[in-house]
Amino acid sequence: MTTSMPSGFSKKSLLDYTASQRGSFEKTLKELVEIPSVSAEPRHQPEVAEVVSRAADLMQQMGGEVRVLETGGHPLLHARFEQSSDYPTVTVYNHLDVQPADMSDGWHTEPFRFVQKEDRYWGRGTTDDKGPALTALWGAKYALAHQTPINVNFLWEAEEEIGSPNFESTVKRHKELLETDSVVVSDTVWVSRTRPACPAGLRGLQGFRFFLETGETDQHSGTSGGAARNPVAEICQLVADCFDAKTGDVKIPGFYDDVVEPTKAELADLKKSGFSTATFKKDHQFKSLRVTDPVEIMKRIWCMPTFEVHGIEGGYHGPGVKTIVPPRATAIVSCRLVPNMDARKIVKLVRAFVKEKNPDVKVQAEHGLPAYQGHTVGPHPDAIRAAMNFAFDKEPVFVREGGSIGAVVPMEKVLKAPVFFLGLSLPEHGYHAPNENYDWQQAEGGMIAFADYFRRVAAIEPAS
Amino acid sequence: MTTSMPSGFSKKSLLDYTASQRGSFEKTLKELVEIPSVSAEPRHQPEVAEVVSRAADLMQQMGGEVRVLETGGHPLLHARFEQSSDYPTVTVYNHLDVQPADMSDGWHTEPFRFVQKEDRYWGRGTTDDKGPALTALWGAKYALAHQTPINVNFLWEAEEEIGSPNFESTVKRHKELLETDSVVVSDTVWVSRTRPACPAGLRGLQGFRFFLETGETDQHSGTSGGAARNPVAEICQLVADCFDAKTGDVKIPGFYDDVVEPTKAELADLKKSGFSTATFKKDHQFKSLRVTDPVEIMKRIWCMPTFEVHGIEGGYHGPGVKTIVPPRATAIVSCRLVPNMDARKIVKLVRAFVKEKNPDVKVQAEHGLPAYQGHTVGPHPDAIRAAMNFAFDKEPVFVREGGSIGAVVPMEKVLKAPVFFLGLSLPEHGYHAPNENYDWQQAEGGMIAFADYFRRVAAIEPAS
């Protein structure tokens, strides 16, 4: 089916639209941001349910056909805006849950208060991912109101930040309801404000907790130190055995076996991506890095796996020195994975390595997320390129993304629909960091890009 | 000056005395134990002052010349029972402050309720150190009432459990008031109920905090992991560089240089000390130890220095896995020191080692406590031996003590008086542990041992 080009898609009309919608967009974003939908924290379970229910109301008011799907964990929201069953369907994926946030982490404003200063919006979830979610919705609203021959489904998850543990099973159960021709995900970060970027791949993730218990209670390090085992020290040693903290090199045998190094072409793309070491350092507020060469940094954050320790639980954390031998310790660690690596194989390698190094340490493996190899050629990537260029006056580069989005691989696998990315966040927006923010420039451009993308996708012969 | 032997020091007379005093001893111990004099907790500051004031009243009622010395921290109590300025003076050191205690730590009775069941007394401070303090006082009462040609001073500290931060400076300011010929400390633990023990040395302590900052705030380990430095991992690596957690071997060059290994005679003493690995494990609730041979354990906890990590501050400590690159980390560590080691030299070695391994790590050294080499030969140790044997029908072994008593070295240094130990606590009394207790057998024997010790010291020509 080839469709005629709908009217009203000039930049001027779209800018008039975004200007007229700014108030209602900001009001809605404020409402969602002020619901602390922290999926990782059991005490916030009611708020996760509340944000889904609030978003369901919003979709319904806009005319969507809404279903809140039970997952066994936090609910999954689906809303269909159908114009005709003859039209192709695009599913927009976003998530409504957020990372934990606490004033003590260094926030300058209350994390769950929406604070606006001129064009910038502060608050947990503004950029990850409530802002981009609403931006895509407002873009779709325009496309639908202007007779774009397309159906738009929204799939808004509430468990993304905890690794989408129930996403695949839920999608499997509701395969027919969720049927779609393609998916577009808006949950990724540009190289810089002047350099739009689309991921051509995502890293996967495999988390672990290493637990060691050698006693029952704190003991006096004077009366027992020297003979007593020290679980914090043994856990430190195990972490140091797993990888070299200075270089980042993972020392677990077999860890790198399945890694496919980036091709010359990919490296050439990285070189022209506009990535700047100084900007990367500034955006993430790093004092120093393991390496300084920009291509080497991009390789490390996008194309190579990692071993990371997030914290050591156990022992004394207060002021001064409390001279105890602690009874137990836990290392909270994870590996980022790249395409062709298998999370289950990594779990096996890590378990075997820990068993060899310290057999008393218990290894708990978290739900793994596979890495994702994306699409950079074909009509949809071309539509993304064109829409981004139209909205932001600059063509995006296709780089990789170092983070993981648990839903991506299951959507391709179960729905058999290709997944593309139209991300809107900037490095300085602070994904997972204190003082997370989003801004009107990205929202406005994003609405225009999405509206234009839907128009272009409508012009592509649907796969089905 | 040689003195004549006073009368009334038969075992029979002393047992009659202790039997007649039991009621008043227990009543006084109950009063002191029920004052929660936790020096580490600011909210208990009034109770620390209260216990000192209550003890001052007690000393005054008994005829002592009492001074409550301001220290800048918790007050220091001094009471002099002078019979004649011609007589030698023995100073008895104890402390009135206690470790924190909370029902949730596993107490079976309220920690600040004095609970008596037959001959046993439960409550925080019963054995550490209010029970031994009163035991020594009751022993002195008898010796003084029986014309022993001696003066007895009591020096009762209220900051022992927080490392005696103001003890040395206070003793310096009141050097003349505190003048003494010798000191006897009652704040140490036997090997077992059937094996009296006196420490021939105490370990010292040098605490450190290792601090590394590589960023400002938590960052997403997906978007920056691989290129970002990980301060928790670098701190773990540094700890693993400092010592082997499995064996306990310290890897800092020069660390062991000044350690004097225990002599054959000392090892022989350790062998006959009655120390049991199984009891040590049980008393401290350890699941396993670095070594199992009892002599090797005693060497490690009493005669050898250690490197210990008490906790790693920084990063994520909650449930699950929060995939951040943390901005900073602190290792809280300490070294136990043995006689002949110099805390300042250890600070230098540690600083140099850390600088070489990771120059970005800042090292903060805490106030160091030197190790203490005790006296095992001479008339005072002989008097201790004989008094213990007289009271408990068993000669004590001279072992070492793994912990530190901050007041000991300053007393020798400032007052130029030798320090001896007449400890009364048992391993099962639970120093620093929940369900701390003391018992009438140790109190009764202790009163007799102290009375007999004063009689014997009076017979020794005073050093001055």
Percent above pLDDT 70 for chain A:
98
Instruction: Please check whether residue B258 is in contact with residue B243, taking contact to mean a CB–CB distance below 8 angstroms.
Output: no
User: Does B74 contact chain A (CB < 8 Å)?
Assistant: no
- If you measure CA to CA, which chain B residue comes closest to A248? B226
In the block, residue with structure tokens 């350890």: B286
Average pLDDT, chain B: 93
Please indicate whether residue A367 or residue B355 has the higher confidence score (pLDDT). Answer: B355
Closest Cβ–Cβ partner in A227, A240, A322 for B291:
A227
Secondary structure (H, E, C), A361-420 = CEEEECCCECCEECCCCCHHHHHHHHHHHHHHCCCCEEEEECCCCCCHHHHHHHHCCCEE
User: Does A312 contact chain B (CB < 8 Å)?
Assistant: yes
DSSP state of B71: -
Please indicate whether residue A178 or residue A323 has the higher confidence score (pLDDT). Answer: A178
- If you measure CA to CA, which chain A residue comes closest to B304? A226
What is the reported pLDDT for B461?
Answer: 65
- The Cα B140–Cα A338 span in angstroms is 76
A119: three-class secondary structure by DSSP:
coil
What is the reported pLDDT for B3?
Answer: 40
Banded pLDDT at B106 (limits 50, 70, 90) = confident
> A295 pLDDT exceeds 80?
yes
Average pLDDT, chain A: 94
> A153 pLDDT exceeds 80?
yes
Residues of A in contact with B313 (CB under 8 A): 317
What is the reported pLDDT for A2?
Answer: 38
CB contact under 8 A, B232 and A402: no
CB contact under 8 A, A230 and B224: no
Closest Cβ–Cβ partner in B216, B235, B317 for A285:
B216
Q: How many angstroms away from the CA of B116 is the closest CA of chain A?
A: 25
CB contact under 8 A, A402 and B326: no
CB contact under 8 A, B310 and A326: yes
CB contact under 8 A, A433 and B301: no
* Interface probe with B: pick from A309, A316, A425, most Cβ of B within 10 Å: A309
Instruction: Please check whether residue B381 is in contact with residue B398, taking contact to mean a CB–CB distance below 8 angstroms.
Output: yes
Instruction: Please check whether residue A96 is in contact with residue A29, taking contact to mean a CB–CB distance below 8 angstroms.
Output: no
Closest Cβ–Cβ partner in A216, A333, A403 for B223:
A403
E strands present in A28-136: 65-69, 76-81, 89-95, 115-117, 120-122
What is the reported pLDDT for A360?
Answer: 98
pLDDT digits (tens, 9 = 90+) for B390-440: 999 999 988 888 888 889 999 999 999 999 999 999 988 988 888 999 999
- The Cα A215–Cα A313 span in angstroms is 15
- Burial label, A352 (beta-carbon count in 10 A; 0-12, 13-18, 19+): middle
| Residue B220 φ then ψ, to 5° | -70, 125
User: Does B313 contact chain A (CB < 8 Å)?
Assistant: yes
pLDDT digits (tens, 9 = 90+) for A237-285: 999 999 999 999 999 999 999 999 888 888 888 888 889 999 999 989 9
Chain B stretch 362-401, residues whose beta carbon is closer than 8 A to a beta carbon of chain A: 366, 401
What is the reported pLDDT for A291?
Answer: 98
Q: What is the ipTM of this complex?
A: 0.84
Residues of B in contact with A100 (CB under 8 A): 318, 322
What is the reported pLDDT for B7?
Answer: 63
CB contact under 8 A, B232 and A285: no
From-to residues of CATH 3.40.630.10 in chain A: 11-202+371-458
Question: Which residues does B209 contact at the CB level (< 8 Å), separation at least 6?
Answer: A321, B330, B331, B332, B333, B363, B364, B366
CB contact under 8 A, B322 and A313: no
Chain A stretch 32-71, residues whose beta carbon is closer than 8 A to a beta carbon of chain B: 40-41
- The Cα B62–Cα B54 span in angstroms is 13
- If you measure CA to CA, which chain B residue comes closest to A230? B245
State mean pLDDT over A139-148. Answer: 96
Closest Cβ–Cβ partner in B218, B290, B322 for A227:
B290
The CATH class of the B204-259+304-365 domain is: alpha beta
From the list A23, A26, A68, the residue with the least C-alpha distance to A50 is A68
What is the reported pLDDT for B463?
Answer: 42
Residues of A in contact with B259 (CB under 8 A): none
The CATH class of the A11-202+371-458 domain is: alpha beta
Instruction: Please check whether residue A133 is in contact with residue A423, taking contact to mean a CB–CB distance below 8 angstroms.
Output: no
- If you measure CA to CA, which chain A residue comes closest to B162? A322
- If you measure CA to CA, which chain A residue comes closest to B405? A222
Instruction: Please check whether residue A345 is in contact with residue A258, taking contact to mean a CB–CB distance below 8 angstroms.
Output: yes
- The Cα B292–Cα A238 span in angstroms is 23
In the block, residue with structure tokens 């039997």: B19
Percent above pLDDT 70 for chain B:
98
Q: How many angstroms away from the CA of B414 is the closest CA of chain A?
A: 25
Tokens of A172: 């499997």
What is the reported pLDDT for B462?
Answer: 52
- A–B CB contacts, 8 A cutoff, strictly below: 314
> B64 pLDDT exceeds 90?
yes
The amino acid occupying position B48 is V
> A421 pLDDT exceeds 50?
yes
Instruction: Please check whether residue B97 is in contact with residue B159, taking contact to mean a CB–CB distance below 8 angstroms.
Output: yes
What is the reported pLDDT for B270?
Answer: 86
CB contact under 8 A, A228 and B285: no
CB contact under 8 A, B232 and A427: no
User: Does B230 contact chain A (CB < 8 Å)?
Assistant: yes
CB contact under 8 A, A401 and B225: no
Tokens of A297: 């940094």
pLDDT digits (tens, 9 = 90+) for A52-77: 999 999 999 999 999 999 999 999 99
User: Does A236 contact chain B (CB < 8 Å)?
Assistant: yes
pTM for the full model?
Answer: 0.83
Tokens of A318: 């207060």
What is the reported pLDDT for A251?
Answer: 98
From-to residues of CATH 3.30.70.360 in chain A: 204-259+304-365
State mean pLDDT over B149-172. Answer: 94
- The Cα B52–Cα B75 span in angstroms is 7
Percent above pLDDT 90 for chain A:
82
- The Cα B242–Cα B350 span in angstroms is 8
The amino acid occupying position B296 is E
- The Cα B422–Cα B381 span in angstroms is 10
Q: How many angstroms away from the CA of B412 is the closest CA of chain A?
A: 21
CB contact under 8 A, A288 and B229: yes
> A389 pLDDT exceeds 70?
yes
- The Cα B90–Cα B450 span in angstroms is 11
| Residue B275 φ then ψ, to 5° | -65, 135
pLDDT digits (tens, 9 = 90+) for A82-95: 999 999 999 999 99
